[in-house]
Structures are given as structure tokens and as C-alpha cells.
Amino acid sequence: MVLNGPNLGRLGSREPDVYGATSYAGLVERCTALGKEFGFEVEVHETNSEQQMVEWLHEAADGQVPVVINPGAFTHYSYAMRDAAAQRTAPLIEVHISNPYAREAFRHTSVIAAVASGTIAGFGIGSYELALRALAEQLTTR
């Protein structure tokens, strides 16, 4: 499961100098193609709703489904999402398109990082590819 938080559905038009020119549809296509390459199905979701994100994290935990998550702005303050992510029963990798530490100070804190298997940031859309590769490796060594 690849989960995307607020404003990520606007990829391609939202601050392309920060987030790149790839559209959200392009991200979905890339993630699903990589999943096939690695031998697993990838479901990609995007929401501006904290409630929906928490529900998807519960679904993943209940089904022992690995997660790649870009929490967007929820990264910095959503303790509800952090608590849902802490219930994970499979690897959970936090991703960011930009490098939060090279941006505004409020972006330097992630409430998700402490409960994630790892974090990948700053490689543009390639952050998702790196996360899916890491996930595939973790799943084959389990």
C-alpha cells in the first residue's frame, strides 16, 4: 500500500520547483509498475483527510500489509496518524519528495519517523522507488 497525504494529488502542478513535474497519475503508474517488477501488487491512495489516512493505516495493520507513506503536512503534527502507524504489523517506510531538513524549520520534525521502519527523503519521485526497493528487500529476507 502506498499512501499519500494532503496536496499530493496535485503533483505536477503544485510547486514543480520543489515537487517536480511528474503528475499524481504518473506517480501511481510508476509505483504500480515497480510493484509488478518486484512481484507484488501496489495499491496507491491519496487523501487530504486525516481520518481516511488513519483508516488506511488500520486496514494495513489488520492485514499485515506493508506501507510506503508520504504523510505530507501530516508528518509534522498528526499524532493520530503516528499512533495508527505505530500499530503496524509489517514494514512501514516514510517517504518525502523533497528533503524536509533543507526546508523551513517546521518541516524538520516528523512524528511518523520514530515508528517507521525507515525514512527516505529528498530524491524527488525517486524516493518512492527507493522505498519500494527497500520494501521488496525486506519482504524477501523475512
> Which residue numbers belong to the known binding site?
70, 76, 83, 97-98, 107
Is residue 77 within 8 Å of residue 44, measured between CB atoms?
Answer: no
For the record, the C-alpha cell of 55 comes out as: 483508516
Binding-site members for substrate are 70, 76, 83, 97-98, 107
Active site residues: 19, 96
Name beta bridge partners: 3.
45, 69
57 Cβ contact list (under 8 Å, min separation 6) = 3, 67, 69, 81, 84, 85, 87, 88
C-alpha cell at 12: 505536477
Secondary-structure breakdown of the chain: helix, strand, coil percentages, each rounded to the nearest 5: 50, 15, 35
